[in-house]
Structure 1
């Protein structure tokens, strides 16, 4: 044990190894502006410069103070970088210049400073991290109110919220912290003299932040944080140099949390001791694998965390030595333990934990906490194995079985070897029923072996030294096996229970990760909680707070069984749990009369919901409680993931809507402007020069206006058709339709409108499918118009109808430039216009989208193919309908 304690702590050595190769960091810490941090840093830098050190000022803010500027003296200063921001050139610390210059010591004032947007890092402390990684020693200044963990406390004390903060780990990883401190009265006098702020600013500061009470509180914070840092340095030094300790440089309290009912009393008493000593508190639970199963230390450890302690659990067999080792490792000076209720034999022999610590813990102050008056006796743990009488009944049966085997081999195997047969029932009884039954089996086995097999037989006597040695060895081995295998059996059973719980959690995690909506996820959580609690369970999710309310409203989303539902009183406990983020209801300290217990599911973003349980008797044991805590953690993460996926889906939908809106506005701006311009020009010409124009000119202008008006009408009709299709308002009227005749009619009308011929191949008359004639005519008109528009002025447009298995097909193709392969899957999207060689296709981009909607409404399908002709150009659009 002495050698083990003399070894340096590996974690402390690892922390020292991480610092190797990094630049040192020295922080001049103050309670408030004006205490003299920058002045002290500059004075120390001038002393180091005079000693020959390479010192460089990276940046020092003088804030217009003449004495600060004079304190810089002959210290070299790094030129500042100029960064353009909103039309201005702002000066900032030149990180690249400092890395290129690589001084031995670099001075950086105001560690919490936010850099100008456009800098490499948003915060100056991040610049310091990069400088340290490059091996440069950095000196910096900061006030205690800029520590991230203290920002809320500072806001409550001073009424001012600090915007610029520094993570606590930056100060914790500093190699040196120097506290710059002056009394509040002296600091206020400096302020009145104008040595910190200008007179107008000083008067406002004295009425607000710089009040004497505020400064005293900030001073206490700075002193405490520096003391904690020094304490950490002492503890790290002790661990790295294998110093056993404790060193009474500062008080530290350790509460020893057991699994008995007095554990929470011990934690509360330890908290009072720590508060009286102004010392940190550590709550330690030692789990013994060989100990009999007892209560659950979880509630006491959670109570310690709520009271601001650090809760830790270690696994060890030797309780007193482990306590002392952990106490010395943490440099604890006070140990708080419960008196407990040890057995009478332990009290008589002085083998209680308190007696052992009184003998061995000579370097510590020991606090022994009595049990509170009227405390109930700890109930025996619920047995999940065979009933208690089974062990006592099985013990003689096992011995009798071994005796029968010995009698069967009597005369064949020597008498001494027959004793080994009795080791089997000893091990079986110890593993199956416990060490007491194992010891009884060992005693009965020895008596049976001595009576039936050792000479002289049938007498309980031992003849000769050889028999004495054999009997002693047998008894010792039997008792040792009874004790060790009993503990091993308990450990195996506990490990099996943990493995079963872990397997169930893995299976539950797989269920949470399976595809499904949020409703499936919530139902899975309720089912798993019901299985763990062996009773009804439910899941409540949160609705946003109503106007005038501050807390969200819990709403039942799943329950197992389905009829299980919290009553009105239980819902009051649920609302309290939501408002405070803590368990409530039956079996807790809040509203224990409620019929349900509610446990929050917390994530980094806040409360995700509640899991409700209706616990029965007996309450949850330790393993079930830990499994339920693991369930809550996994369920919270799964719910958060589901919420994030829903937010992502909504974001994608919003982005798609914005894209469609942009396309619509773009199309409106283009497709409305051109015809309106033509109509307006024709009307203006007719109004101003009508009598002077020839009849042919007037007719041409009127025809232009009429043509553009029809174009606008078609475009608006397309928009309305698209809206009807998107809203599912297209209801086809079914009747048999002759496709060849419908195609001939649509082609003739398109040929007259465009003054072009369309090659038709109606083929044999196919079976007439049941379609909507009006919708089909609109589809064919759009497809033919599209083909004529994108073919060459004298190009070829062809259309044909044919039978294709159980379907009938219509194909319309042109010899135009075709559609790029990457655009084929998008040509039926609304407002999409394909890129054709060196230009964007004209039109609104709605024609093919309308065709797809109408074809699908009639039960068909549509597809585009390109190229359509052997020379690599052209487009073919094929529409297929069911033949019957």
Structure 2
């Protein structure tokens, strides 16, 4: 922002203020531990507001039997609690609807991290608070710092007690006011000993566990830091919303300025050390200049900053010092950490280096200059395919000479003043091809050549008339303007072209990663893309679990391009180190640089997904610039794709295990029920015949024997069904292919079912369908199972019909009954093994294998089966339809 430009509020800060409009305020009384006096302080402040005429209502306050808290309530009105019935008990809970109807000016809600009773509208009290604020009600509440979600793990490590009830950090961040209630740990322990917090027996246990002085001191530091962070955020938001230029030295903030030079990581580490010393937050900023030459990617330094706990930010701007100061003031930064760098001699001579400019302009900041790291290279290697810097100084005179030759060729035909336009061509060409410096050099050579060779008096550098003076001045201005703007435009075009090409390749690679395929196709695609970027062989290594007695996983090559490219033993040592430490290793790195291959880890949130191995064709520094950026993007996307593939495999295995477990449980349940009933009948009949046989009449003995025989047949059918379903699941069914007369097969099955159940089956064949090629025995088993189900579930007086129809190229067999039907939610599961549909108030009888066997047999014969219910106008009935291809 220039000095003349008026300061404007930050749009994000204004948007945050706008979001608060119409919402109720939230004030949080924050404490380090129970017993510090949060509730008492809240009630005391509420009584003062109530005495001043404010409408204050206690929604809920937990006194825990403490006389001090009970006395602090005073004359404040208390809302009646809601009663919730849960498992025969009447629980008292906060009445959310009552508060919304009452709409007090200030509502007091104790214990923000409370979990509501089952049956409440929201599971957590902080969600009740959100609804109250949306309704425009101001809420005051209390909470301890250990209930913050982000601190629960740290609190568990410090105190050994894991907090079950947590509040998201955003709730505290969205609060309009946070008041810290703090007392020293020694005073809190003394209050505990006096019985002012817990009962004596509870206090004794607490003093031996959670309420140790060291624990309380650590929790106090957490509360103080979190409150300080909140206050700092409030100050920064106020400055942005009111367009106040910073910094305000209310608290220290450190910003590391990350460039694309070898000292970037050193700057980050030094900034982290400064921030640790000042106990201040750290921000890492990288300014990308669109008009600058493509430079090495600062992504490594940015990732290092993230690992060190810094907030990272990348902005685009043409003016580097202005962008740095604008961001520093917007974020209320007080310390700037930059590297010295190696600017050109012209910048050093004119005082236009970044450090010198910041010394002059950043008068409100403390500036830290970081020396270059020891052993840093004197010059960054040029990117692959780029011309060496000295080539422009040779090409520029050649271009001017060519323009001079053209001018000499048309001399006498074209006026002397117009010949100057010919020299604009080498100026533009030099600026586009080599930059503004070479463009300016071309402008100087062109001016001298034009003046010496073509402007009168010729062969001197004298300018004769005023017309020539004007022409020379205009030519010089136009030439310099073209050199500067065209040079910057050429660099921008080259940078944009390189980035667009990288983006296009990245999109194409993303599409390949998202295409269907197994993990083998995925790792091959990663290896091919890595090989293209590196310009040499590449491979992908996945990790095998460590063997017994080993602590680190073993990387194994799973794909390579070309197929015979494989790292040697020395390179594999670098791969093992990279896998164990999750950092790059091998050629061109600081670890095992003598190896022929370089290995880069593919990291995810769950851990290490694998390694990408590279053997660049050029020197170790060949993977700089756009190639390095593209490779980092490849690693990130490949890691996500591999993680997704692993998750899909785990999900498939989990579903298979769940299905197997469900089948096992169903089988055990069915065995326990369906085997027990016939065995009990058989055992009872045999026992009766053995003990009372001679005393029984002939008819009674015959009836007992018939019962044993029927139950034995029932048991045999059930075991046969088990064997059939096992054969189907294992794909051991090999159906025959014979021409089958469906009408005859249907009549035979219907007659047998009628005899078994002593009921008639209605047959409706219509026009005789074409005879398909099926297995007669399997078809007969299918029809027998379907008719048996229909007769069983239609009741003693129900109607069962069997119909044969022709549906286009298929023949359909429909078995229909008028029974109670199948619930809609069970229709998609009736063909699952051991599944029995729920019918009104009971579960359907049977083993649950009949329809599963029918589906397996029908599919083995090339058909399909479906269930429809209800089929009657009164909502009853079921229709099972089997369809086979026609002849």
* TM-score calculated relative to the size of structure 2: 0.84
Residue matched to 1:95: 96
Residue matched to 1:621: 624
Q: CA distance change for structure 1 residues 707 and 628 in 2, over 3 Å: closer, same or farther?
A: same
3-state SS, counterpart of residue 618 of structure 1: helix
Residue matched to 1:470: 471
- Once the 2 structures are TM-superposed, how far is the Cα of residue 492 of structure 1 from its aligned partner? 0.9
CA-to-partner distance for each residue in 1:49-97, whole Å, 9 max, x for gaps?
1111111112222121101110110111122223334443222222222
Alignment of 1:9 with 2:10, yes or no, is yes
Query: How is 1:604-643 mapped onto 2 (pairs within 5 angstroms)?
Result: 604-614=605-615, 617-643=620-646
Please tell me whether the aligned partners of residues 292 and 490 of structure 1 are also in contact (alpha carbons under 8 angstroms).
yes
Tell which deviates more after alignment, 387-396 or 68-77: 387-396
Q: CA distance change for structure 1 residues 97 and 746 in 2, over 3 Å: closer, same or farther?
A: closer
Q: CA distance change for structure 1 residues 215 and 4 in 2, over 3 Å: closer, same or farther?
A: farther
3-state SS, counterpart of residue 445 of structure 2: helix
Residue matched to 1:359: 360
- Once the 2 structures are TM-superposed, how far is the Cα of residue 514 of structure 1 from its aligned partner? 1.2
CA distance in 2, matches of 1:556, 1:66: 71
CA distance in 1, matches of 2:67, 2:844: 71
Q: How many residues align?
A: 865
Residue matched to 1:539: 540
CA distance in 2, matches of 1:383, 1:308: 34
Please tell me whether the aligned partners of residues 743 and 780 of structure 1 are also in contact (alpha carbons under 8 angstroms).
no
Alignment of 1:421 with 2:422, yes or no, is yes
Alignment of 1:726 with 2:729, yes or no, is yes
Residue matched to 2:170: 169
3-state SS, counterpart of residue 531 of structure 1: helix
- Once the 2 structures are TM-superposed, how far is the Cα of residue 138 of structure 1 from its aligned partner? 1.6
CA distance in 1, matches of 2:772, 2:104: 91
Residue matched to 1:525: 526
Please tell me whether the aligned partners of residues 749 and 780 of structure 2 are also in contact (alpha carbons under 8 angstroms).
no
Alignment of 1:712 with 2:715, yes or no, is yes
Please tell me whether the aligned partners of residues 787 and 812 of structure 1 are also in contact (alpha carbons under 8 angstroms).
no
Please tell me whether the aligned partners of residues 439 and 479 of structure 1 are also in contact (alpha carbons under 8 angstroms).
yes
Q: CA distance change for structure 1 residues 155 and 760 in 2, over 3 Å: closer, same or farther?
A: closer
Root mean square deviation, CA, Å: 4.6
- Once the 2 structures are TM-superposed, how far is the Cα of residue 372 of structure 1 from its aligned partner? 4.1
Tell which deviates more after alignment, 789-798 or 68-77: 789-798
Q: CA distance change for structure 1 residues 14 and 866 in 2, over 3 Å: closer, same or farther?
A: closer
- Once the 2 structures are TM-superposed, how far is the Cα of residue 467 of structure 1 from its aligned partner? 0.8
Residue matched to 1:200: 201
Please tell me whether the aligned partners of residues 785 and 851 of structure 2 are also in contact (alpha carbons under 8 angstroms).
no
Q: CA distance change for structure 1 residues 172 and 412 in 2, over 3 Å: closer, same or farther?
A: same
- Once the 2 structures are TM-superposed, how far is the Cα of residue 499 of structure 1 from its aligned partner? 0.8
3-state SS, counterpart of residue 256 of structure 2: strand
Tell which deviates more after alignment, 389-398 or 204-213: 389-398
Tell which deviates more after alignment, 706-715 or 257-266: 706-715
Alignment of 1:317 with 2:356, yes or no, is no
- Once the 2 structures are TM-superposed, how far is the Cα of residue 522 of structure 1 from its aligned partner? 2.7
Tell which deviates more after alignment, 342-351 or 834-843: 834-843
- Once the 2 structures are TM-superposed, how far is the Cα of residue 375 of structure 1 from its aligned partner? 3.7
Residue matched to 1:152: 153
- Once the 2 structures are TM-superposed, how far is the Cα of residue 474 of structure 1 from its aligned partner? 0.6
Tell which deviates more after alignment, 809-818 or 498-507: 809-818
Residue matched to 1:212: 213
Please tell me whether the aligned partners of residues 603 and 639 of structure 2 are also in contact (alpha carbons under 8 angstroms).
yes
Alignment of 1:278 with 2:279, yes or no, is yes
3-state SS, counterpart of residue 112 of structure 1: coil
Residue matched to 1:302: 303
3-state SS, counterpart of residue 119 of structure 1: coil
Q: CA distance change for structure 1 residues 741 and 14 in 2, over 3 Å: closer, same or farther?
A: closer
- Once the 2 structures are TM-superposed, how far is the Cα of residue 580 of structure 1 from its aligned partner? 5.5
Q: CA distance change for structure 1 residues 392 and 106 in 2, over 3 Å: closer, same or farther?
A: same
CA-to-partner distance for each residue in 1:339-388, whole Å, 9 max, x for gaps?
22333332232222222222222222222223345543133423523455
3-state SS, counterpart of residue 314 of structure 1: strand
Residue matched to 1:491: 492
Q: CA distance change for structure 1 residues 173 and 448 in 2, over 3 Å: closer, same or farther?
A: same
Please tell me whether the aligned partners of residues 61 and 110 of structure 2 are also in contact (alpha carbons under 8 angstroms).
yes
Stretches of structure 1 lacking an aligned partner (at least 5 in a row): none
Tell which deviates more after alignment, 631-640 or 828-837: 828-837
3-state SS, counterpart of residue 284 of structure 1: strand
CA distance in 1, matches of 2:282, 2:815: 84
Tell which deviates more after alignment, 98-107 or 654-663: 654-663
Tell which deviates more after alignment, 40-49 or 623-632: 623-632
Stretches of structure 2 lacking an aligned partner (at least 5 in a row): 870-876
Q: CA distance change for structure 1 residues 266 and 15 in 2, over 3 Å: closer, same or farther?
A: same
CA distance in 1, matches of 2:817, 2:153: 70
Residue matched to 2:439: 438
CA distance in 1, matches of 2:797, 2:153: 76
Residue matched to 1:257: 258
Q: CA distance change for structure 1 residues 813 and 468 in 2, over 3 Å: closer, same or farther?
A: closer
- Once the 2 structures are TM-superposed, how far is the Cα of residue 717 of structure 1 from its aligned partner? 2.6
Q: CA distance change for structure 1 residues 594 and 143 in 2, over 3 Å: closer, same or farther?
A: farther
Residue matched to 1:129: 130
Q: CA distance change for structure 1 residues 554 and 194 in 2, over 3 Å: closer, same or farther?
A: farther
Q: CA distance change for structure 1 residues 140 and 569 in 2, over 3 Å: closer, same or farther?
A: farther
Q: 2:648 aligns with which of 632, 641, 645?
A: 645
Please tell me whether the aligned partners of residues 682 and 702 of structure 1 are also in contact (alpha carbons under 8 angstroms).
yes
Residue matched to 1:240: 241
CA distance in 2, matches of 1:115, 1:284: 44
Alignment of 1:49 with 2:12, yes or no, is no
CA distance in 1, matches of 2:440, 2:507: 40
- Once the 2 structures are TM-superposed, how far is the Cα of residue 576 of structure 1 from its aligned partner? 5.7
Please tell me whether the aligned partners of residues 866 and 880 of structure 2 are also in contact (alpha carbons under 8 angstroms).
yes
Query: How is 1:626-775 mapped onto 2 (pairs within 5 angstroms)?
Result: 626-654=629-657, 656-657=659-660, 679=682, 683=686, 686-687=689-690, 690-691=693-694, 698-699=701-702, 702-703=705-706, 705-730=708-733, 754=755
Please tell me whether the aligned partners of residues 788 and 797 of structure 1 are also in contact (alpha carbons under 8 angstroms).
no
CA distance in 1, matches of 2:159, 2:636: 37
Please tell me whether the aligned partners of residues 785 and 850 of structure 2 are also in contact (alpha carbons under 8 angstroms).
no
Please tell me whether the aligned partners of residues 866 and 874 of structure 1 are also in contact (alpha carbons under 8 angstroms).
yes
Alignment of 1:84 with 2:85, yes or no, is yes
Q: CA distance change for structure 1 residues 617 and 682 in 2, over 3 Å: closer, same or farther?
A: same
- Once the 2 structures are TM-superposed, how far is the Cα of residue 45 of structure 1 from its aligned partner? 0.9
CA distance in 1, matches of 2:107, 2:247: 37
Query: How is 1:443-592 mapped onto 2 (pairs within 5 angstroms)?
Result: 443-542=444-543, 555-565=556-566, 582-584=583-585, 586-588=587-589
Q: CA distance change for structure 1 residues 743 and 777 in 2, over 3 Å: closer, same or farther?
A: farther
3-state SS, counterpart of residue 2 of structure 1: coil
CA distance in 2, matches of 1:706, 1:760: 35
Please tell me whether the aligned partners of residues 820 and 835 of structure 1 are also in contact (alpha carbons under 8 angstroms).
no
CA-to-partner distance for each residue in 1:470-492, whole Å, 9 max, x for gaps?
11111121122112211211111
- Once the 2 structures are TM-superposed, how far is the Cα of residue 624 of structure 1 from its aligned partner? 2.6
- Once the 2 structures are TM-superposed, how far is the Cα of residue 394 of structure 1 from its aligned partner? 4.3
Please tell me whether the aligned partners of residues 293 and 381 of structure 1 are also in contact (alpha carbons under 8 angstroms).
no
- Once the 2 structures are TM-superposed, how far is the Cα of residue 596 of structure 1 from its aligned partner? 4.9
Please tell me whether the aligned partners of residues 429 and 438 of structure 1 are also in contact (alpha carbons under 8 angstroms).
yes
Please tell me whether the aligned partners of residues 523 and 559 of structure 2 are also in contact (alpha carbons under 8 angstroms).
yes
Q: CA distance change for structure 1 residues 567 and 131 in 2, over 3 Å: closer, same or farther?
A: farther
CA distance in 2, matches of 1:111, 1:425: 73
- Once the 2 structures are TM-superposed, how far is the Cα of residue 101 of structure 1 from its aligned partner? 1.6
* TM-score calculated relative to the size of structure 1: 0.84
CA-to-partner distance for each residue in 1:215-259, whole Å, 9 max, x for gaps?
333333322322222222222222222222322222222222222
CA distance in 1, matches of 2:753, 2:613: 74
3-state SS, counterpart of residue 91 of structure 1: strand
CA distance in 1, matches of 2:739, 2:16: 86
Please tell me whether the aligned partners of residues 800 and 816 of structure 2 are also in contact (alpha carbons under 8 angstroms).
yes
